[in-house]
Structure 1
Amino acid sequence: MECMMLMAGVQPNSITFLGLLCGCSHQGLVEEGVEYFHMMNLKFNLKPGIKHYGCMVDLFGRAGKLEKALDMIGNSPSQDDPVLWHGIAKMRKLIKSQGIKTTPGWSWIEVGDQIHKFVVDDKSHPDFFEIYHKLREVISQAALLGYVPEESLISVAGLITEECLETSTSYHSEKLAIAFGLARTPKGTSIRIVKNLRVCKDCHSFTKYVSKAFNREIIVRDRVRFHHFKGGVCSCKDYW
């Protein structure tokens, strides 16, 4: 891309590199991301901003290189910026002290000709007893294959969501929608879910195990992309 731009006489700017770094993060291209990050200043005299540092933290974090992610935060011009830090306790304290409003998360699934919408720990559905009973069964089956619930905090565009502030013991909207889909659709059919936010790490892991345990294709459209779960793997290859 860089060569094509230069050949066309177009100089890359900070937005160009932001797109490159974001793409590297979502594809797990760590070495390439590091190269582009250093190239900004050394070759094009562009000073990386907080969003560029945020992409690098995300890049290292997704790849499991947590020490490098921490080093990147330490070298950033704004070490305390919430774009870089998503610690649960720290964010909860900030939200309470500053009165920050969170984004409510929801998932919906179409069964037959009706759309069913769920939020975290939702008990408003008329069949919620059946749904929760099914979900407990689904969790048990997924656990037999190795699923382990975990606390996860995901930020969407710098915002902390109500759903992701809940602990792993909470029933996120996506899990409720999946349980409902498994209970109300024929065996072997695909389940399609739409989510207004980025899927959290725990729900992503859960859905992979469910697709294998129940031999179902589960397609989730979240805020970022499509996730196609089948046989215990996801089309995003765990980068999203």
Structure 2
Amino acid sequence: MVGVLSACAVAGALELGKWAHAYVEKHRMDGRLSVRTALIDMYSKCGYIDRALEVFESTPVRNLVLWTSMINGLAINGSGNKAVEFFDRMVNDDDIKPDAIVLISVLSACSHGGLIDEGRRLFDELKSRYNLIPRMEHYGCMVDLLGRAGRLDEALELIRRVPSEPSVILWRTLLGACRAHRNVQIGELAMKEIQRREPRHHGDHVLLSNIYASVGRWEDVAYVRRAMKRMGVSKEPGCSIIEVDGQIYSFVVEDATHRHSEEVRAALERMTRRLREAGHVPDTREVVARVEGGEEEREEKLVHHSEKVAVAFGLIRTVPGTTLRVVKNLRVCVDCHAAMKLISEIYGREIVLRDRNRFHHFKSGSCSCDDYW
């Protein structure tokens, strides 16, 4: 059953996860810490953080693994302050000594929540209070924290202070921050360091081309794309899944072969029309494919992003008011994030979108991340 719950967590299959929870309760397996930890992980990764908290609070005796699962769940759902609060509860109330793993989770929570002071305190306490040697993952969390806050120079300086050879992950994290803040100079420096280590990773080239696209340097975008083609490097296609009536449906960007393609195409057109009527202006800064096609073609690319397709399908296959839960393999783009906020308002739906990095809970025109992600 732990395996079943873990599978539900990966797929974001909440309804099946709820059935599994009822099953373990019926057969009196829910008293085991391994099962309760899996339940917390499943509910957290399905975006149902309130239910995860209920399972946690109803557990009479908690170990480090259970605490870590709960803190990580709060982190990925954007509850940074609560994650730090739970970490302090674990240390002070339950007198549990943290390990390197739980500190990665709480530092990640600080990163997603922009909690710079808290993050620095915890990073300093790694050695001073807990006698732990910072791992590369801890440095990665701090680089992410500083990068998201726009403190790119500080993030670069921290990488240069890493005692051993900085891993490619640190440079990749910095490159991602440069994309968010449109910093070409540091982005190119980070890319140079990445190329020395992993020259064929597709995501890095895409990030660099996105940085160039965001500042209108289309010749550089085309150059990066040509280089990718020469090296045989291709961009991972966007794929989103949605659970409807206990069944998982998968949508890949611009897939015309899907068995529901005609139904979805019509729904997507209606949804796009309502978005435009409500004032949505497509943000094409991150669209870099076929730049020679002009603005109209870039806007058309955005319409068919997989998360939009999944949501359009969910709107026509569920009754009004039903929460839509979507899982995507890539990071949500700026335009889709803005569109999801508006869709939640237009249709009166809550949309829970899990991308590669975290959860976004869209409701009444706003997102739980407060546009900080």
Equivalent residues of 1:17, 1:37 under 8 A apart: no
- Give the 4+ runs in structure 1 shifted more than 6 A: 44-47
TM superposition shift of 1:71: 2.9
Query: Which residue does the alignment assign to 2:173?
Result: 55
Q: Give the CA deviation at 1:137.
A: 1.4
Alignment partners' CA distance in 2, 1:46 and 1:23: 20
Shift of 1:92: 2.3
Matched, 1:30 2:144: no
Question: Counterpart amino acid of 1:116?
Answer: Y
> Cα RMSD (Å) of the superposition?
3.1
Query: Greater strand share, 1 or 2?
Result: 1
Which residue among 340, 346, 349 is the counterpart of 1:216?
Answer: 349
Distance in 2, matches of 1:153 and 1:51, equals 24
The alignment covers a number of residue pairs equal to 221
The 3-state SS of whatever aligns with 2:208 is coil
Q: Is the CA contact 1:21–1:52 (under 8 Å) kept in the aligned structure 2?
A: yes
| 2:123 counterpart letter in structure 1 | E
Q: Which structure's residues are more often helix, by fraction?
A: 2
| Aligned-residue offset at 1:179 | 0.7
- Which protein shows a greater Rg? 2
Task: Tell me, yes or no, if the aligned pair for 2:123 and 2:138 is still in contact at 8 Å.
Answer: no
Q: Are the counterparts in 2 of residues 106 and 173 from structure 1 also a CA contact under 8 Å?
A: yes
Q: Hey, what's the Cα distance between the residues in 1 that align with 2:358 and 2:247?
A: 24
Instruction: Indicate which of 182, 187, 200 corresponds to 1:73.
Output: 187
Asked if 1 retains the 8 angstrom alpha-carbon contact of 2:178 and 2:184, the reply is no
TM, length-normalised to structure 2: 0.51
Gaps of 5+ in 2: 1-121, 196-203, 211-220, 289-296
2:283 aligned with 1:169: no
Residue in 1 that maps onto 2:372:
239
Give the SS at the match of 1:215: coil
Question: What letter is aligned with 1:38?
Answer: E
Which position in structure 2 is the counterpart of 1:111?
A: 244
1:135 equivalent in structure 2: 268
Report the CA distance between 1:186 and its aligned residue: 1.1
8 Å contact kept, 2:171–2:193:
no
Structure 1 residues 138-177: Cα deviation after superposition (integer angstroms, max 9, x where no partner): 11211233322233259xxxxxxxxxxx943131221111
- 1:180 equivalent in alignment to 2:309: no
Distance in 1 between the 2:282 and 2:337 partners?
11
> Unpaired runs of 5+ in structure 1?
155-165
Contact (CA 8 Å) 1:53, 1:72: kept in 2 or not?
no
- Conservation of the 8 A alpha-carbon contact between 1:40 and 1:47: no
Q: Percent identity?
A: 33
Corresponding residue for 2:125? Answer: 4
Structure 1 residues 60 and 73: CA distance shift in structure 2, 3 A: closer
Would the alpha carbon gap of residues 77 and 173 (structure 1) be closer, same or farther in structure 2, given more than 3 Å must change?
Answer: closer
